[in-house]
A and B are shown apart, each in its own frame.
Chain A
Amino acid sequence: MAEAPSHITRVLGVLAANSELIAEAMQGLVMLGGKSDKGIEALVHIHALTPVEEDTYQLNPRLREYLSDHLARWDAFSRLTRLSSDISQARVLWRNLRQFTREGLHGDVERLSWALDATITSIGYAMERNLMLLNSNISTEYGNVESLKAKIEQNTHYASEVSHCLREIRSLDEATQSIHDEALAAGNLAIRTLINTRIRSRLTTWASKLNDIQREIEKRLFTARLLERRLRTLGKVALWLNRDRLSNGFEVEGDEEAAAKLVAPAEHPNSWNIDTRDHDAMVQDGLVMAVARLPERKVRTSMSEQEPVLQEVLATEQEVAELPRDPVDVMVEELLEHLRRNPAEKVSLLQWREQALANTQARDHSLDEVQAVCDEHWLLYAASQVATAGMSVQLTVQEREDGLHNDLFSDILVHQEGALR
Chain B
Amino acid sequence: MNHQTLTALLGGQFICPVAFQSEYDDLCQPGVEEEVNNWLAHIDRRLARLGDSGAFYVAPLQIQAQHIAKVRDDMRAFRDVYGPLVSMLNLIRVAKEGFSCAPGDYIQLAELEQAVNESETITTQLRSLISVISTAATRLTNREVLKRLLEHLKAAGYLKLANPVNETYQVTGKVDHLHMVLEFIAEQEPALAKEIQDTQSVGGADEQQPDLLHATLHVGSSDVGEVLEPRERNDG
With contact pairs A231-B100, A248-B80, A258-B71 given, residues A222 and B212 touching in the complex (Cβ less than 8 Å): yes
Given contacts A230-B101, A249-B75, A250-B188, 18 further A-B contacts (CB under 8 A): A146-B97, A146-B98, A151-B98, A163-B235, A166-B231, A211-B220, A212-B220, A232-B196, A232-B199, A237-B90, A237-B186, A238-B86, A248-B79, A250-B75, A250-B78, A252-B185, A263-B70, A268-B58
For A357, list chain B residues within 8 Å (CB).
none
Q: Is B192 an interface residue (CB 8 A)?
A: yes
Q: Is A53 an interface residue (CB 8 A)?
A: no
Cβ-neighbour of B184 out of A207, A208, A258 (below 8 A): A258
Mark each residue of chain A from 242 to 266: 1 if its CB lies under 8 Å from any CB of chain B, else 0.
1000011111111110111111111
A339 to B76, CA, bound (A): 98
Within 1-58 of B, Cβ neighbours of A (below 8 Å) are at 7, 9-14, 43, 45, 57-58
Q: Is A184 an interface residue (CB 8 A)?
A: no
With contact pairs A146-B98, A234-B89, A238-B90 given, residues A207 and B12 touching in the complex (Cβ less than 8 Å): no
Q: Is the CB of A230 within 8 A of B179?
A: yes
With contact pairs A252-B75, A254-B71 given, residues A148 and B59 touching in the complex (Cβ less than 8 Å): no
With contact pairs A207-B220, A267-B11 given, residues A261 and B180 touching in the complex (Cβ less than 8 Å): yes
For A212, list chain B residues within 8 Å (CB).
220
A296 to B9, CA, bound (A): 41
Q: Is the CB of A254 within 8 A of B68?
A: yes
Q: Is the CB of A268 within 8 A of B10?
A: yes
Q: Is A204 an interface residue (CB 8 A)?
A: yes
A156 to B58, CA, bound (A): 38
Count, chain B residues at interface, CB 8 A = 76
CB closest chain-A residue, reference B205 = A156
Interface segment out of the listed B134-142, B146-154, B221-229:
B221-229
CB closest chain-A residue, reference B215 = A218
A-B contact pairs, 18 of them (CB 8 A): A160-B235, A166-B228, A214-B231, A221-B209, A225-B206, A227-B100, A231-B93, A232-B196, A235-B93, A236-B196, A241-B83, A249-B75, A250-B189, A259-B71, A262-B180, A263-B60, A264-B12, A270-B11
Q: Is the CB of B177 within 8 A of A264?
A: yes
Which label, helix, strand, loop or mixed, suits the secondary structure of the B interface?
helix
A260 to B64, CA, bound (A): 10
Cβ-neighbour of B58 out of A232, A233, A237, A265 (below 8 A): A265
Q: Is the CB of A263 within 8 A of B63?
A: yes
Binding site for B on A (CB under 8 A): 146-148, 151, 156, 159-160, 163-164, 166-167, 169-170, 173, 203-204, 207-208, 211-212, 214-215, 218, 221-222, 225, 227, 229-238, 240-242, 247-256, 258-268, 270
For A147, list chain B residues within 8 Å (CB).
97-98
Distance (whole angstroms) from the CB of B132 to the closest CB of chain A: 10
Q: Is the CB of A252 within 8 A of B183?
A: no
Q: Is the CB of A240 within 8 A of B191?
A: yes
CB closest chain-A residue, reference B234 = A160
Q: Is the CB of A256 within 8 A of B68?
A: yes
For A151, list chain B residues within 8 Å (CB).
98
Q: Is the CB of B63 within 8 A of A148?
A: no
Q: Is the CB of B224 within 8 A of A173?
A: yes
In the A-B complex, the 8 residue pairs with the smallest Cβ-Cβ separation, listed nearest first, are A208-B220, A238-B90, A249-B78, A267-B12, A207-B227, A268-B10, A249-B76, A252-B188
Distance (whole angstroms) from the CB of B161 to the closest CB of chain A: 22
